[in-house]
Structures are given as structure tokens and as C-alpha cells.
Copies of this chain bind each other. A is one copy, B any other.
Amino acid sequence: MASIKDVAAEAGLSVATVSRVLNGHPSVSADARTRVLAAVEALGYRPNAVARSLRTDTTRTLGLVISDVLNPYFTELARSVEEEARALGYSVIIGNADERPDLQDHHVTTLLDRRIDGLLVSPTDGGSPRMLEAARAGTPMVFVDRWIPGVDVPVVRSDGREAVRDLVAHLYGLGHRRLAIIAGPAATTTGRERVDAFREALAAYGLDLPGAYIGQGDFQAGSGRRVTEGFLDLPEPPEVVFAADNLMALGALDAVRARGLRVPEDIALAAFDDVRWFVHTDPPVTAIAQPTGELGRAAVRALVDRIEGRPGESVTLPARLVVRRSCGERGPTRPPSPSPTRSPSPAQSPSPVRRSTS
């Protein structure tokens, strides 16, 4: 492959001049510029990004470590991240952790070895050593979706608290009283938060969330299926299962179908994360939708801000409830205003974008 030296020789100039032309440096004569450009054209020259990175100590590359590529939520996130990054002149290298801390660590390590300019992470666990080290060492970093408490890194995420309240109001309105949840791993923030939000919302209606109604999942379909089977085996099974992500909801559907039961007649189902397929499942699944695209874009902007020396703020965007038929009759409508036993919570429409600086 042609190098800058070849171009210099072809143009009858020095490599310095060639470099200057290529980088739009002002002090180059028009003549030199045209000769260089002609040589570049003639040789089909393309600058070696590896050499350039070594010299400038910047790669114009962002690393993105996501928890699971097979999860449509992350896939959509990855797409918007790449899109925004491209618009800002950066490339993205994706590492898929498959919800495994060891794989996450592997990818963080290789990304750091490649000297990426910044790291976007949705941590699978409470913080792998390599990642914490990178954060402390000053590698520009932003958490997206999930985060690690106590680490001084901006967080871009969505807050599902309101939407979960709306969901519980909806379920309560349909007459459901025994509500269960398939939780995500306790090591993740989203794993804990969604349970907390659910419990809080239930409490507002005077409902309890007993231990037997909290199933431990791992954000994968298999665990959703196992947990749901456990629920169905209970002496008093729940009337509703709320899956903390879309894949566990899929697993729940598997379990219900395997028993020959029906949703929502025999058991109702709702999910955190909305995906296109939920429109066409049997029945269409009521879900909490995150503004995924906006999340990805905001995360990139925050990270690039950090990289380029600007502050880089945390962002929290609201999620919203999308009612379908999987929780019982009363088709697709707006969530009902709560008529709770003792709750204060006013029926609040999805609030506008809220930002909070970290």
C-alpha cells in the first residue's frame, strides 16, 4: 500500500508538504496542493490511520461496551450511538459482553489497548477492576443505561419510575392485586431500580411485594422462562408478571405457552423495554418504552464533550408506558389516572426532558 513517502516522491515534494496538504494546513502554495492531490489520486493513496494515531495520540474512535447484542434494546442503542458518533467525526468499536463480567473486562481491556479516545459502557456488574482503573486514570468515560454508584462518571439513562407508577395504576385499574416481577441481576442498577420502582408504586396502592413474587433473572430469555415457571408453581400464583426487560418477557411467554395457558386470561404480562415485535405478539405486550435513540445520542455527545475538554453532563430522560392488551381488557388507551387507596402521586403526564448535572 502506498505511503506518504510514495506520494511525496510522485509529487516531487517532501512528506511534510504532503502532510500539510492532507491536513488542510494554510501555508501551502496552490501549485504544491494540486501536485499533491494529483499524486494522491494517481496512487490511490489513503493515510494510514494506525501511524497517524501513534503520532497524534488520538484515534477518533469511541468504544462501546454493551451488555448483550442479541437484545434489541442494545442493538437500537448501538445504532444511534454509531450514528451520532459518525456525525461528530468518530468511529465506534462495539464490544458485546453477553451479560458476562469476564467478557466485559476482556473488551474494556482490548479497547483500552487500542487507545480509543473514550469509552461508553453499560456495565454488566458492579464494576470490573479494569474499568474502575480506567475511570480513575482519567480515560474519558460515560455510563449509559446502567451505571456504577460512587464512580465519578456522567450517566445517561432513562428514569422509569413514573412509567412504572402508570403501569401499576393501569394494572390496579384492571383489578389485579397479586403482582410479581422478574428482576434483573442485583449487581446492575437497572436490575435493582426497576424492582424498587415497582415496590414503591405497589405501596402507593397499599399492595405488598412478597419475596416469593420477586424472581431473580439475568436479563436473558431463559431466566424469564424459569422464573415464570416458578411463579406458576406457587400455591397462589401472581395475576401479573412484570419482566424487567424484553428478553425475559419473551421467556415468560415461552413458559406460559408451554403450560397451555393464555395471556392475559390466565396471567397478565408487562415488560420493561418496548420492541417492535411486541405489537404483533399474541397478545400485544404492554411495555415501558425508553427513548433509546435519544439516549444513545446524548451519551455520545456527553462523551465527546469530555474528550474534547468540555464538562460532559449527565442526562436522565423519562420512559413512558405503552398500553396494549397483555394485561387484560380495555384496549390501547392512555394510562388511567390513579384512584388509589392512599397514594398522593398526581397523574403526571410524561414530563419533558429533564437534565441533571452529575
Contacts from A to B (Cβ < 8 Å): 1, 44, 46-51, 53-54, 59, 69-70, 72, 75-76, 78-79, 82, 86, 91, 93-94, 96, 106, 109-110, 112-115, 133, 137, 221, 250, 253-254, 257, 276-277, 279-284
- Given A50-B53, A250-B276; A79-B75 close (CB under 8 Å): no
With A48-B115, A113-B48 already in contact, the answer to whether A79 and B69 are too (CB < 8 A) is: yes
Determine if A91 and B110 form an interchain contact, defined as CB atoms under 8 angstroms apart: yes
B109 touches A46 (CB 8 A): yes
User: In the complex, are the beta carbons of A113 and B46 less than 8 A apart?
Assistant: yes
Given known contacts A75-B75, A82-B96, A113-B49, A281 and B276 CB-to-CB distance under 8 angstroms: no
In the assembled complex, which residues on chain B have CB atoms less than 8 Å from the CB atom of A82?
96
Q: Which chain B positions have C-beta within 8 A of A44?
A: 133
Interface of A: prevailing SS: helix
> In the complex the two chains form, what is the Cα distance from A137 to B257 in whole Å?
54
Given contacts A277-B281, A282-B282, A282-B283, contact A114 B250 (CB under 8 A): no
Name the contact of A114 in the complex, choosing from B49, B112, B279 (C-beta under 8 A): B49
Residue of B nearest to A251 (CB): B276
Point out the residue from B50, B114, B221 that lies within 8 Å of A276, measured CB to CB: B221
Report B-chain residues with C-beta under 8 Å of the C-beta of A54.
48, 50-51, 54
Q: Which residues of B contact A133 (CB under 8 A)?
A: 44
Q: Report B-chain residues with C-beta under 8 Å of the C-beta of A94.
A: 94
**A79, B96: Cβ atoms under 8 Å?**
yes
Q: A47 — which chain B residues lie within 8 A by C-beta?
A: 113
4 nearest A-B residue pairs (beta carbon): A282-B282, A277-B277, A49-B113, A280-B281
Q: Which B residue sits closest to A78, measured CB to CB?
A: B69
Task: Say how far A265's CB is from chain B's closest CB, in angstroms.
Answer: 15
Whole-angstrom CA separation of A107 from B53 in the bound complex? 18
**Max chain B CB contacts within 10 Å: which of A109, A115, A221?**
A115
Nearest B residue to A276 by beta-carbon distance? B250
